[in-house]
Structure 1
Amino acid sequence: MTKDHPHSVVEAMGNRHDYLPAAGRDALLPGYDLLTRLLGMYKLHETLVAQAELTADQRVLEIGCGTGNLTIRAKRTQPGAEVIGSDPDLLALARAERKAHGLNGIRFERAYAQKLPFPDQEFDRVLSSMMLHHLETGVKTAALAEALRVLRPGGSLHIVDVGGEVTPDDGLMARLLLHNDHARDNLGDGIPQLLRKVGFDCAVVASQRHRRLGRVTFYRGTRPN
Protein backbone atom coordinates (compact mmCIF):
# COMPACT_ATOMS: atom_id res chain seq x y z
CA MET A 1 0.00 0.00 0.00
CA THR A 2 1.05 3.54 -0.63
CA LYS A 3 -0.07 6.79 0.87
CA ASP A 4 -1.91 7.54 -2.39
CA HIS A 5 -4.49 4.87 -1.72
CA PRO A 6 -7.50 4.94 0.64
CA HIS A 7 -5.80 2.43 2.89
CA SER A 8 -7.66 3.02 6.12
CA VAL A 9 -11.01 2.40 4.44
CA VAL A 10 -9.63 -0.81 2.98
CA GLU A 11 -8.28 -1.98 6.32
CA ALA A 12 -11.53 -1.15 8.09
CA MET A 13 -13.39 -3.31 5.58
CA GLY A 14 -10.92 -6.17 6.09
CA ASN A 15 -9.67 -6.24 2.49
CA ARG A 16 -6.31 -7.39 1.18
CA HIS A 17 -6.32 -4.79 -1.60
CA ASP A 18 -5.00 -1.23 -1.67
CA TYR A 19 -8.42 -0.12 -2.91
CA LEU A 20 -12.01 -0.63 -1.84
CA PRO A 21 -13.64 -3.26 -4.11
CA ALA A 22 -16.91 -2.34 -5.80
CA ALA A 23 -18.99 -4.42 -3.41
CA GLY A 24 -16.80 -3.80 -0.37
CA ARG A 25 -15.44 -7.35 -0.51
CA ASP A 26 -14.63 -9.55 -3.51
CA ALA A 27 -16.97 -12.29 -2.30
CA LEU A 28 -19.93 -9.90 -2.41
CA LEU A 29 -19.41 -8.82 -6.02
CA PRO A 30 -22.04 -11.19 -7.53
CA GLY A 31 -24.73 -9.36 -5.55
CA TYR A 32 -23.46 -5.85 -6.28
CA ASP A 33 -25.74 -5.04 -9.21
CA LEU A 34 -28.80 -6.25 -7.33
CA LEU A 35 -27.83 -4.05 -4.40
CA THR A 36 -27.42 -0.98 -6.60
CA ARG A 37 -30.82 -1.63 -8.11
CA LEU A 38 -32.42 -1.93 -4.67
CA LEU A 39 -30.73 1.31 -3.62
CA GLY A 40 -32.27 3.13 -6.58
CA MET A 41 -28.97 3.93 -8.27
CA TYR A 42 -30.29 3.52 -11.81
CA LYS A 43 -32.56 6.54 -11.41
CA LEU A 44 -29.69 8.57 -9.95
CA HIS A 45 -27.48 7.56 -12.88
CA GLU A 46 -30.18 8.59 -15.33
CA THR A 47 -30.36 12.00 -13.70
CA LEU A 48 -26.57 12.44 -13.63
CA VAL A 49 -26.18 11.54 -17.31
CA ALA A 50 -28.95 13.98 -18.24
CA GLN A 51 -27.13 16.72 -16.31
CA ALA A 52 -23.91 15.96 -18.21
CA GLU A 53 -25.60 16.82 -21.54
CA LEU A 54 -23.55 14.36 -23.56
CA THR A 55 -23.08 14.81 -27.30
CA ALA A 56 -21.91 12.42 -30.00
CA ASP A 57 -18.46 13.99 -30.46
CA GLN A 58 -17.43 13.85 -26.81
CA ARG A 59 -14.98 11.67 -24.91
CA VAL A 60 -16.37 10.67 -21.52
CA LEU A 61 -14.62 9.10 -18.52
CA GLU A 62 -16.13 7.59 -15.39
CA ILE A 63 -13.83 7.32 -12.37
CA GLY A 64 -14.59 4.50 -9.93
CA CYS A 65 -16.93 2.78 -12.38
CA GLY A 66 -17.28 -0.51 -10.49
CA THR A 67 -19.27 -2.94 -12.63
CA GLY A 68 -19.94 -0.27 -15.24
CA ASN A 69 -23.58 0.66 -14.67
CA LEU A 70 -23.10 4.41 -15.09
CA THR A 71 -20.56 4.02 -17.91
CA ILE A 72 -22.96 1.81 -19.85
CA ARG A 73 -25.86 4.17 -19.14
CA ALA A 74 -23.82 7.06 -20.58
CA LYS A 75 -22.98 5.05 -23.70
CA ARG A 76 -26.57 3.98 -24.32
CA THR A 77 -27.80 7.53 -23.78
CA GLN A 78 -25.34 8.93 -26.31
CA PRO A 79 -24.18 6.09 -28.63
CA GLY A 80 -21.89 8.38 -30.61
CA ALA A 81 -19.73 9.33 -27.63
CA GLU A 82 -16.52 7.49 -26.76
CA VAL A 83 -16.93 6.31 -23.16
CA ILE A 84 -14.32 4.87 -20.80
CA GLY A 85 -14.93 3.40 -17.36
CA SER A 86 -11.99 3.24 -14.95
CA ASP A 87 -11.60 1.42 -11.64
CA PRO A 88 -8.80 -0.38 -9.73
CA ASP A 89 -11.02 -3.47 -9.20
CA LEU A 90 -10.18 -6.01 -11.93
CA LEU A 91 -13.03 -8.33 -10.96
CA ALA A 92 -15.55 -5.51 -11.27
CA LEU A 93 -14.06 -4.44 -14.60
CA ALA A 94 -14.37 -7.96 -15.97
CA ARG A 95 -18.05 -7.95 -15.05
CA ALA A 96 -18.47 -4.52 -16.65
CA GLU A 97 -16.89 -5.73 -19.89
CA ARG A 98 -19.29 -8.67 -20.04
CA LYS A 99 -22.26 -6.37 -19.51
CA ALA A 100 -21.04 -4.02 -22.26
CA HIS A 101 -20.59 -6.82 -24.82
CA GLY A 102 -21.89 -5.73 -28.21
CA LEU A 103 -21.55 -2.00 -27.56
CA ASN A 104 -19.04 -0.10 -29.68
CA GLY A 105 -17.01 2.88 -28.52
CA ILE A 106 -16.87 1.82 -24.88
CA ARG A 107 -14.01 0.30 -22.90
CA PHE A 108 -12.86 -0.26 -19.35
CA GLU A 109 -9.38 0.37 -17.93
CA ARG A 110 -7.78 -0.33 -14.58
CA ALA A 111 -6.91 2.94 -12.89
CA TYR A 112 -6.95 4.68 -9.53
CA ALA A 113 -8.97 7.90 -9.59
CA GLN A 114 -6.08 9.74 -7.94
CA LYS A 115 -3.55 8.54 -10.53
CA LEU A 116 -5.26 8.45 -13.93
CA PRO A 117 -3.24 7.02 -16.86
CA PHE A 118 -4.61 9.53 -19.38
CA PRO A 119 -3.03 12.59 -21.02
CA ASP A 120 -3.90 16.14 -20.03
CA GLN A 121 -7.12 17.58 -21.51
CA GLU A 122 -8.23 14.21 -22.92
CA PHE A 123 -11.95 14.30 -21.99
CA ASP A 124 -15.02 16.49 -22.34
CA ARG A 125 -16.85 14.97 -19.39
CA VAL A 126 -15.85 13.09 -16.25
CA LEU A 127 -18.49 11.25 -14.19
CA SER A 128 -18.38 10.05 -10.58
CA SER A 129 -21.06 8.14 -8.69
CA MET A 130 -21.00 7.24 -5.00
CA MET A 131 -17.23 7.03 -4.79
CA LEU A 132 -15.92 10.15 -3.08
CA HIS A 133 -17.43 9.44 0.34
CA HIS A 134 -15.21 6.34 0.62
CA LEU A 135 -11.97 8.30 0.22
CA GLU A 136 -9.76 10.07 2.71
CA THR A 137 -9.37 13.82 2.26
CA GLY A 138 -5.97 13.65 0.58
CA VAL A 139 -7.02 10.94 -1.85
CA LYS A 140 -10.32 12.71 -2.57
CA THR A 141 -8.49 15.95 -3.32
CA ALA A 142 -6.00 14.14 -5.57
CA ALA A 143 -8.83 12.42 -7.47
CA LEU A 144 -10.58 15.75 -8.10
CA ALA A 145 -7.29 17.31 -9.22
CA GLU A 146 -6.79 14.44 -11.67
CA ALA A 147 -10.31 14.94 -13.02
CA LEU A 148 -9.45 18.60 -13.64
CA ARG A 149 -6.19 17.65 -15.35
CA VAL A 150 -7.77 15.26 -17.85
CA LEU A 151 -10.66 17.60 -18.73
CA ARG A 152 -10.45 19.99 -21.65
CA PRO A 153 -11.04 23.69 -20.94
CA GLY A 154 -14.80 24.14 -20.62
CA GLY A 155 -15.25 20.44 -19.85
CA SER A 156 -17.10 19.35 -16.75
CA LEU A 157 -17.05 16.87 -13.90
CA HIS A 158 -20.46 15.54 -12.81
CA ILE A 159 -20.78 13.97 -9.36
CA VAL A 160 -23.58 12.29 -7.46
CA ASP A 161 -22.82 11.23 -3.91
CA VAL A 162 -24.25 11.03 -0.44
CA GLY A 163 -23.79 14.24 1.48
CA GLY A 164 -24.58 17.91 1.16
CA GLU A 165 -26.74 19.59 3.76
CA VAL A 166 -27.41 16.38 5.69
CA THR A 167 -29.54 16.46 8.84
CA PRO A 168 -30.72 13.68 11.19
CA ASP A 169 -34.21 14.19 9.73
CA ASP A 170 -32.95 12.72 6.43
CA GLY A 171 -33.16 9.22 7.93
CA LEU A 172 -31.02 6.45 9.38
CA MET A 173 -28.38 6.47 6.65
CA ALA A 174 -28.02 10.22 7.03
CA ARG A 175 -27.50 9.85 10.77
CA LEU A 176 -24.83 7.22 10.14
CA LEU A 177 -23.20 9.49 7.58
CA LEU A 178 -22.93 12.28 10.11
CA HIS A 179 -20.69 10.04 12.24
CA ASN A 180 -18.59 8.59 9.40
CA ASP A 181 -15.03 9.96 9.32
CA HIS A 182 -14.51 9.36 5.60
CA ALA A 183 -17.80 10.99 4.67
CA ARG A 184 -17.06 14.17 6.61
CA ASP A 185 -15.75 15.95 3.49
CA ASN A 186 -19.07 15.23 1.79
CA LEU A 187 -21.11 17.10 4.38
CA GLY A 188 -22.31 20.67 3.97
CA ASP A 189 -20.27 22.53 1.35
CA GLY A 190 -17.34 20.12 1.67
CA ILE A 191 -17.39 18.91 -1.94
CA PRO A 192 -17.75 22.42 -3.44
CA GLN A 193 -14.82 23.57 -1.29
CA LEU A 194 -12.62 20.73 -2.54
CA LEU A 195 -13.67 21.35 -6.16
CA ARG A 196 -12.79 25.02 -5.91
CA LYS A 197 -9.52 24.20 -4.13
CA VAL A 198 -8.24 22.18 -7.09
CA GLY A 199 -9.40 24.77 -9.65
CA PHE A 200 -12.98 23.97 -10.67
CA ASP A 201 -15.84 26.40 -11.01
CA CYS A 202 -18.48 24.60 -8.96
CA ALA A 203 -22.25 24.44 -8.75
CA VAL A 204 -24.60 22.34 -6.62
CA VAL A 205 -27.07 21.15 -9.24
CA ALA A 206 -29.59 19.43 -6.96
CA SER A 207 -29.93 17.83 -3.53
CA GLN A 208 -32.66 15.48 -2.42
CA ARG A 209 -33.64 13.29 0.45
CA HIS A 210 -33.31 9.67 -0.60
CA ARG A 211 -35.37 6.98 1.07
CA ARG A 212 -32.50 4.48 1.21
CA LEU A 213 -29.35 6.60 1.09
CA GLY A 214 -30.33 9.49 3.35
CA ARG A 215 -29.45 12.50 1.19
CA VAL A 216 -27.82 12.59 -2.23
CA THR A 217 -26.43 15.68 -3.90
CA PHE A 218 -25.47 16.36 -7.50
CA TYR A 219 -22.49 18.61 -8.28
CA ARG A 220 -21.03 20.07 -11.45
CA GLY A 221 -17.42 21.20 -11.61
CA THR A 222 -16.37 23.05 -14.78
CA ARG A 223 -12.77 23.51 -15.88
CA PRO A 224 -12.29 27.20 -16.67
CA ASN A 225 -11.40 28.12 -20.25
Structure 2
Amino acid sequence: MRDFRPALAFPALTPWFDAVAKVAIRDDVLKRRLSALLPLEPGQSVLDVGCGTGTLLLHLHERQPQARLFGVDADPVALAIAEQKGRRAGVAWSLTRASATELPFPDGQFEVVVTSLVFHHLTTPQKQRALREIRRVLNPRGRLLLADYGAPQTWLEALAFLPVRLFDGFDVTEANVQGQLPDQMRQSGFATVECRAELPTAFGYITAWQAQPAPPAEPMPA
Protein backbone atom coordinates (compact mmCIF):
# COMPACT_ATOMS: atom_id res chain seq x y z
CA MET A 1 0.00 0.00 0.00
CA ARG A 2 1.36 3.41 -0.95
CA ASP A 3 3.11 5.49 1.73
CA PHE A 4 2.41 2.86 4.40
CA ARG A 5 4.56 3.00 7.52
CA PRO A 6 3.76 0.89 10.61
CA ALA A 7 3.06 2.79 13.83
CA LEU A 8 6.30 1.54 15.42
CA ALA A 9 8.22 1.79 12.12
CA PHE A 10 8.69 -1.97 11.65
CA PRO A 11 5.94 -4.60 11.11
CA ALA A 12 7.62 -6.99 13.55
CA LEU A 13 7.05 -4.45 16.34
CA THR A 14 3.30 -3.97 15.72
CA PRO A 15 2.27 -6.78 18.12
CA TRP A 16 3.97 -4.74 20.85
CA PHE A 17 2.09 -1.55 20.00
CA ASP A 18 -0.57 -1.80 22.72
CA ALA A 19 2.03 -2.37 25.44
CA VAL A 20 4.21 0.52 24.23
CA ALA A 21 1.25 2.91 23.80
CA LYS A 22 -0.12 2.02 27.22
CA VAL A 23 3.10 3.20 28.84
CA ALA A 24 4.00 6.05 26.49
CA ILE A 25 0.65 7.85 26.19
CA ARG A 26 -1.73 5.89 28.47
CA ASP A 27 -3.49 4.86 25.29
CA ASP A 28 -6.37 2.95 26.86
CA VAL A 29 -7.23 5.89 29.14
CA LEU A 30 -6.88 8.30 26.21
CA LYS A 31 -9.19 6.29 23.95
CA ARG A 32 -11.75 5.90 26.72
CA ARG A 33 -11.84 9.67 27.20
CA LEU A 34 -12.18 10.23 23.46
CA SER A 35 -15.09 7.81 23.24
CA ALA A 36 -16.84 9.72 26.04
CA LEU A 37 -16.89 12.86 23.87
CA LEU A 38 -19.29 11.26 21.38
CA PRO A 39 -23.03 11.05 22.19
CA LEU A 40 -23.59 7.91 20.14
CA GLU A 41 -27.06 6.65 19.30
CA PRO A 42 -28.35 3.13 18.50
CA GLY A 43 -28.05 2.21 14.85
CA GLN A 44 -25.54 4.92 13.95
CA SER A 45 -22.76 4.01 11.53
CA VAL A 46 -19.40 4.94 13.04
CA LEU A 47 -16.06 4.83 11.21
CA ASP A 48 -12.66 4.82 12.93
CA VAL A 49 -10.04 5.99 10.42
CA GLY A 50 -6.68 4.50 11.37
CA CYS A 51 -8.26 2.14 13.88
CA GLY A 52 -4.99 0.33 14.58
CA THR A 53 -5.44 -2.52 17.03
CA GLY A 54 -9.06 -1.61 17.79
CA THR A 55 -8.75 0.00 21.24
CA LEU A 56 -10.96 2.98 20.41
CA LEU A 57 -13.49 0.76 18.64
CA LEU A 58 -13.84 -1.34 21.79
CA HIS A 59 -14.57 1.75 23.88
CA LEU A 60 -17.07 2.99 21.29
CA HIS A 61 -18.82 -0.38 21.53
CA GLU A 62 -18.92 -0.08 25.30
CA ARG A 63 -20.51 3.38 24.97
CA GLN A 64 -23.14 2.26 22.45
CA PRO A 65 -23.38 -1.49 21.82
CA GLN A 66 -26.03 -0.94 19.13
CA ALA A 67 -23.88 1.31 16.95
CA ARG A 68 -22.59 -0.17 13.69
CA LEU A 69 -18.81 0.02 13.89
CA PHE A 70 -16.35 0.15 10.99
CA GLY A 71 -12.59 0.52 11.03
CA VAL A 72 -9.91 1.08 8.42
CA ASP A 73 -6.16 0.89 8.75
CA ALA A 74 -3.24 0.45 6.37
CA ASP A 75 -1.46 -2.00 8.70
CA PRO A 76 -2.60 -5.63 8.17
CA VAL A 77 -0.90 -6.80 11.36
CA ALA A 78 -2.74 -4.18 13.44
CA LEU A 79 -6.02 -5.14 11.78
CA ALA A 80 -5.43 -8.81 12.62
CA ILE A 81 -4.97 -7.84 16.29
CA ALA A 82 -8.16 -5.76 16.13
CA GLU A 83 -10.03 -8.73 14.65
CA GLN A 84 -8.88 -10.90 17.56
CA LYS A 85 -10.00 -8.27 20.08
CA GLY A 86 -13.38 -8.08 18.41
CA ARG A 87 -13.86 -11.85 18.51
CA ARG A 88 -12.90 -12.00 22.19
CA ALA A 89 -15.35 -9.20 22.99
CA GLY A 90 -18.08 -10.63 20.79
CA VAL A 91 -18.27 -7.47 18.68
CA ALA A 92 -19.47 -7.74 15.09
CA TRP A 93 -17.57 -4.84 13.55
CA SER A 94 -16.29 -4.49 9.99
CA LEU A 95 -12.55 -3.93 9.46
CA THR A 96 -10.96 -3.08 6.12
CA ARG A 97 -7.37 -2.53 5.06
CA ALA A 98 -7.33 0.91 3.47
CA SER A 99 -5.54 4.25 3.57
CA ALA A 100 -7.06 7.34 5.15
CA THR A 101 -6.55 9.06 1.82
CA GLU A 102 -8.65 6.50 -0.12
CA LEU A 103 -11.63 5.37 1.93
CA PRO A 104 -13.54 2.48 0.28
CA PHE A 105 -17.03 3.71 1.19
CA PRO A 106 -19.83 5.54 -0.62
CA ASP A 107 -20.62 9.20 -0.05
CA GLY A 108 -22.44 10.05 3.17
CA GLN A 109 -22.39 6.55 4.70
CA PHE A 110 -21.43 7.49 8.28
CA GLU A 111 -23.07 9.55 11.00
CA VAL A 112 -19.81 9.69 12.96
CA VAL A 113 -16.15 9.52 11.91
CA VAL A 114 -13.37 9.39 14.48
CA THR A 115 -9.63 9.38 13.97
CA SER A 116 -6.97 9.49 16.65
CA LEU A 117 -3.20 9.89 16.45
CA VAL A 118 -3.18 9.33 12.69
CA PHE A 119 -2.67 12.80 11.24
CA HIS A 120 0.81 13.38 12.64
CA HIS A 121 1.90 10.43 10.47
CA LEU A 122 0.65 12.12 7.27
CA THR A 123 2.29 14.74 5.08
CA THR A 124 0.35 17.96 4.58
CA PRO A 125 -1.02 16.86 1.15
CA GLN A 126 -2.01 13.51 2.69
CA LYS A 127 -3.73 15.29 5.58
CA GLN A 128 -5.74 17.34 3.11
CA ARG A 129 -6.70 14.30 1.02
CA ALA A 130 -7.69 12.37 4.15
CA LEU A 131 -9.89 15.21 5.39
CA ARG A 132 -11.61 15.48 2.01
CA GLU A 133 -12.23 11.73 2.03
CA ILE A 134 -13.64 11.89 5.57
CA ARG A 135 -15.88 14.77 4.53
CA ARG A 136 -17.07 12.74 1.54
CA VAL A 137 -18.08 9.64 3.51
CA LEU A 138 -19.66 11.64 6.34
CA ASN A 139 -23.38 12.28 6.41
CA PRO A 140 -24.18 15.99 5.88
CA ARG A 141 -25.58 16.08 9.43
CA GLY A 142 -22.79 13.93 10.87
CA ARG A 143 -19.78 14.82 12.95
CA LEU A 144 -16.04 14.28 12.94
CA LEU A 145 -13.91 13.84 16.05
CA LEU A 146 -10.21 14.23 15.24
CA ALA A 147 -7.60 13.82 17.98
CA ASP A 148 -3.92 14.49 17.48
CA TYR A 149 -1.03 16.54 18.78
CA GLY A 150 -1.71 20.26 18.83
CA ALA A 151 0.70 23.17 18.69
CA PRO A 152 3.10 23.27 21.69
CA GLN A 153 2.39 26.30 23.87
CA THR A 154 5.70 26.38 25.75
CA TRP A 155 9.28 25.38 25.08
CA LEU A 156 8.81 22.48 27.50
CA GLU A 157 5.91 21.18 25.42
CA ALA A 158 7.97 21.61 22.25
CA LEU A 159 10.79 19.66 23.88
CA ALA A 160 8.39 16.90 24.94
CA PHE A 161 7.11 16.62 21.36
CA LEU A 162 10.63 16.43 19.90
CA PRO A 163 10.93 12.61 20.20
CA VAL A 164 7.73 12.22 18.16
CA ARG A 165 9.13 14.57 15.50
CA LEU A 166 12.43 12.69 15.39
CA PHE A 167 10.67 9.32 15.15
CA ASP A 168 7.91 10.19 12.67
CA GLY A 169 9.62 12.97 10.74
CA PHE A 170 9.72 16.75 10.87
CA ASP A 171 7.84 17.10 7.58
CA VAL A 172 4.76 15.14 8.66
CA THR A 173 4.56 16.78 12.10
CA GLU A 174 5.10 20.38 10.95
CA ALA A 175 1.38 21.12 10.53
CA ASN A 176 0.79 19.88 14.09
CA VAL A 177 3.52 22.12 15.48
CA GLN A 178 2.13 25.10 13.58
CA GLY A 179 -1.41 24.46 14.81
CA GLN A 180 -2.74 24.11 11.27
CA LEU A 181 -5.13 21.16 11.69
CA PRO A 182 -8.26 23.25 12.46
CA ASP A 183 -7.68 25.43 9.38
CA GLN A 184 -7.08 22.34 7.24
CA MET A 185 -10.39 20.95 8.46
CA ARG A 186 -12.20 24.14 7.48
CA GLN A 187 -10.50 24.21 4.08
CA SER A 188 -11.63 20.60 3.50
CA GLY A 189 -15.33 21.34 3.93
CA PHE A 190 -15.89 21.34 7.69
CA ALA A 191 -17.50 24.02 9.82
CA THR A 192 -17.98 24.69 13.53
CA VAL A 193 -14.52 23.30 14.31
CA GLU A 194 -14.18 23.38 18.09
CA CYS A 195 -11.75 22.05 20.67
CA ARG A 196 -13.51 19.49 22.87
CA ALA A 197 -10.60 18.39 25.04
CA GLU A 198 -6.86 18.70 25.60
CA LEU A 199 -5.37 15.51 26.94
CA PRO A 200 -1.86 15.49 28.45
CA THR A 201 0.70 12.84 27.50
CA ALA A 202 4.43 12.44 28.04
CA PHE A 203 4.94 13.87 24.53
CA GLY A 204 2.69 16.91 24.79
CA TYR A 205 -1.00 17.63 24.64
CA ILE A 206 -3.35 15.74 22.34
CA THR A 207 -6.20 17.97 21.22
CA ALA A 208 -9.61 16.59 20.28
CA TRP A 209 -11.44 18.70 17.71
CA GLN A 210 -15.06 18.19 16.75
CA ALA A 211 -16.40 19.42 13.42
CA GLN A 212 -19.44 19.11 11.21
CA PRO A 213 -19.68 19.31 7.43
CA ALA A 214 -20.16 22.83 6.16
CA PRO A 215 -23.56 23.35 4.50
CA PRO A 216 -23.46 23.56 0.71
CA ALA A 217 -22.99 27.05 -0.67
CA GLU A 218 -26.22 28.70 -1.78
CA PRO A 219 -26.35 29.48 -5.49
CA MET A 220 -25.82 33.09 -6.50
CA PRO A 221 -29.05 34.89 -7.39
CA ALA A 222 -29.59 35.34 -11.11
Give the TM bin, normalised by the shorter chain: 0.7 to 0.9
Q: CA 1:177 to 1:25, structure 2 compared with 1: closer, same or farther past 3 Å? A: closer
CA RMSD for the aligned pairs?
1.9
Give the equivalent residue in structure 2 for 1:134: 121
Which of 27, 39, 43 lines up with 2:29 in the alignment?
Answer: 43
Does structure 1 residue 206 correspond to structure 2 residue 206?
Answer: no
Give the equivalent residue in structure 1 for 2:184: 194
Report which stretch shifted further, 99-108 or 155-164: 99-108
Any runs of at least 4 consecutive aligned residues in structure 1 with deviations exceeding 6 A, and if so which? none
Tell me the matched-pair count.
Answer: 209
Q: Deviations over 1:128-175 (max 9, x none)?
A: 111100100001100011110000012111111112344322264224
Give the equivalent residue in structure 1 for 2:5: 20
Superposition map of 1:61-140 within 5 A? 61-101=47-87, 102-140=89-127
Q: Deviations over 1:25-47 (max 9, x none)?
A: 11111211101111211122112
Q: CA 1:89 to 1:207, structure 2 compared with 1: closer, same or farther past 3 Å? A: same
Q: CA deviation at 1:85?
A: 1.0
8 Å CA contact retained: 1:133, 1:161: yes
8 Å CA contact retained: 2:114, 2:146: yes
Give the equivalent residue in structure 2 for 1:57: 43
Q: Deviations over 1:74-108 (max 9, x none)?
A: 11221000001101111111111011105243121
Q: What SS is found at the alignment partner of 1:100?
A: helix
One-letter identity of the residue aligned with 2:97: R
Q: What SS is found at the alignment partner of 2:37?
A: helix
- 1:188, 1:94 → 2: CA distance? 35
- 2:130, 2:8 → 1: CA distance? 20
8 Å CA contact retained: 2:150, 2:179: no
Give the equivalent residue in structure 2 for 1:224: 214
Give the equivalent residue in structure 1 for 2:220: none
Uncovered stretches (5+) of structure 1, i.e. residues with no partner? 6-17
Give the equivalent residue in structure 2 for 1:181: 171
Q: What SS is found at the alignment partner of 1:52?
A: coil
